[in-house]
Amino acid sequence: MLTDDGSPQAVLYRGLVDSGGRTDTIVLDGAWAFWPNQFIYPNISPDNYDRFAHFPESWTSYVPESYPAYGYGSYAVTIAGLNPALEYAFSFPGYSCAARYFVNGREFYTQGVPGNNRKSERPDWKTAVVPLPDTNSRTVTLVLHLSNFNDMYPASSLPIKFGTYDRLNVMRYRDRLSHIFPFGAILAMGAFFIALFVFNRHERSCFWLGLCCFVFALRITCYEQFILQDIFPRVSENLMFRLGYLTFPLGEACLAGFIATRFPLPGDRKYYAAIIGVSAAYCLVTLFAPVSVCTALLVPFQAFTAVAALFVLAVVVCALAARRDGALAVLAGFAVFLLFGAHDVLVANRLVQGAFLTHFGMLALTAAMGLVVVRHFTRAFNTVEHLSARVERVNESFARFVPNEFLHFMGKTSITELYPGESVRRDMCAMYIRLGYDPVVSDSVNKLALLELINTILGRVTPIIIEHGGFVDRFLNDGFTVLFPDDPCRAVRCALALEQNMAQHNTERGAEGQPDIRFSAGLERGPIVLGTIGSENRIERAVLSNVLTVARQLAVHAASREIGILVSADVAVPLGGPDPCACFLVPHGDLKIRGLDRPVSLFEARAPA
């Protein structure tokens, strides 16, 4: 093994290791002096080392004689070749239960209170870099009193490190950062997906994923670097122990819930129910049963978890074979998680040495699941956006049949709010525009050409109508009806603008050798009923009033007298005053209209010269 600078690592053998005066870190992994079932006198001499065992390693695995998991003992190691000019320190990992450290016979650090039975032991979990007490000695003997009466694994899978104080602190901060980064990333993802679920309760996969992220984030804080103690300094070791164990079944249940909602298969509910049920049962044991019961059931639950993981893996593989969206990403994340998880199980069971990597596996798995959910939401958003654009285009098309102005006068905001039999009464101005075609033109031009001519004219006049606040209500053979709010001045101005536009259009037609289109308009004012007629299957808009009849008769009369614009007295009277509408009104007598009791007084509207 090599150090950070590439030089050979100092070897710990038979309880002795020589640093050679170097500043590199020594990993105290090797054969320590060992005294089972006793707390030795801490000022022991290396000459009294007579039994050796590998440390860190569970004493349950020692050969030829192994010991029960619940017990206590002492370890010792002597480090020689120190440089008195350097400030040394030990980096202690978190142990499963309790430990007391002595240097050259003096106690200088404790982690909980070790005891020779469960009652006298007070377990604790924490990591620390502890500077070496002031000494000019070139040799240091570290004695460790260790007890384990509350966990299934004695000691720790991680070794103690010895080196300069500054270097060990840098290493500790680096190790903590390697946990804080995935913790923060997973916690943020959890908050994000829970928020998505709150806003869309149908997306249950967001709930399971968000909860899974919270569980994984909690698990990272409960192990190895014990970040939870930094967040809540007063958290008890008993609560921290139970929370750490609780994250195992909770994480399994959340993962199963996510897979069940994301990749459901026929008849698989009973298997997921079994996974979640067994996980819930172990959660209750972890919360309320004695710690010894919780640890005793861990191995059986780990075996059940292995079977459940194989089932979930098979479901994801089937989803991949069926080309389900996101199956490949989840399978890749799940494979990384299982790989790191298997590695950590081996480390926890002292079968291999190394750092725990599950927190990176958790990050990979949650990131993969998050990618699947985000892609699902992205596709749904794109679909909604596409449908919204389509609905907008449909609404624009509907507006050509049912003008938005009609909806406005009806007090509606959308065509979907219209129902048969609805009506409103409004005082409005109505204008009928009559387009006179030369009989020769009408006889010689086919219907398609005539339709094209009408559309051309409407294309010219519609913007002018809209500009003056009106809308085209209906098209007839010889013209069309326009409705305005109860504003005669605006309606007359629109009629004058249309007359001028049609004169310009006739000039353009004359240059092409085409006959003129004779423009005439009639304007009336009064109450109009706007409404809908039809059934639930089909409805049409309706505009009912004598005002429309009068407006059309005025336009026909104007055409017969070769007058451009005729308005009734009801329209003309509000136009009085000092020429407010920039037009002249010329009286044209009265006109008897069928269906009315009295004749209508007529006025010709002319633009100022």
Could you report the per-residue pLDDT of 394-438, keeping only the tens digit for each?
656 555 555 666 777 777 766 666 777 788 888 889 999 998 865
DSSP state string for 539-564: EEEEEE-HHHHHHHHHHHHHHHTT-S
Q: What is the mean pLDDT of residues 316-344?
A: 85
Q: What is the pLDDT of residue 394?
A: 62
The CATH H-level (homologous superfamily) assignment of domain 405-606 is: Nucleotide cyclase, GGDEF domain (3.30.70.1230)
Q: What is the CATH number of domain 16-156?
A: 2.60.120.260
- H-only helix segments in 232-326: 237-262, 269-288, 291-296, 298-321
Alpha-carbon distance 307 to 294, whole Å? Answer: 20
> For residue 479, what pLDDT band results from cuts at 50, 70 and 90?
confident
Give the residue range(s) of CATH 1.20.1070 domains in the chain. 171-380
Q: What is the pLDDT of residue 52?
A: 93
Give the residue range(s) of CATH 2.60.120.260 domains in the chain. 16-156
Q: What is the mean pLDDT of residues 147-152?
A: 85
Q: What is the mean pLDDT of residues 577-596?
A: 76
Structure token pair of residue 161: 């490190």
Per-residue pLDDT at 1 exceeds 70: no
Per-residue pLDDT at 127 exceeds 80: yes
Please report, rounded to a whole number, the percentage of residues in the chain having pLDDT higher than 70.
89
Strand partners for 164:
88
* Antiparallel, parallel or unpaired: β 518-534 and 539-544: antiparallel
Q: Among all chains, which residue has been given the structure tokens 């928020």?
A: 195
Q: How far is CA 370 from CA 13, 340, 603, in A?
A: 48, 19, 75
Amino acid letter for position 297: L
DSSP state string for 93-136: PPPSSEEEEEETTEEEEEESB--SSTTT-B-----EEEEPPS--
Q: How far is CA 148 from CA 63, 119, 152, 156, 562, in A?
A: 19, 11, 8, 11, 114
Mean pLDDT of the chain: 83
Give the residue range(s) of CATH 3.30.70.1230 domains in the chain. 405-606
Q: What is the pLDDT of residue 246?
A: 92
Of the options 1.20.1070, 2.60.220, 3.40.1350, 2.60.40, the CATH number for the domain spanning 171-380: 1.20.1070
pLDDT (tens digit per residue) in 490-548 = 899 999 999 999 899 889 888 888 888 889 999 999 998 888 787 767 777 778 888 88
Per-residue pLDDT at 441 exceeds 60: no
Which residues make Cβ contacts (< 8 Å) with residue 239, sequence separation at least 6?
Answer: none
Alpha-carbon distance 133 to 197, whole Å? Answer: 54
Phi and psi at residue 39, in whole multiples of 5°? Answer: -100, 105
Per-residue pLDDT at 47 exceeds 70: yes
Structure token pair of residue 312: 């979930």
Is the pLDDT higher at 290 or at 416? 290
Q: What is the pLDDT of residue 129?
A: 92
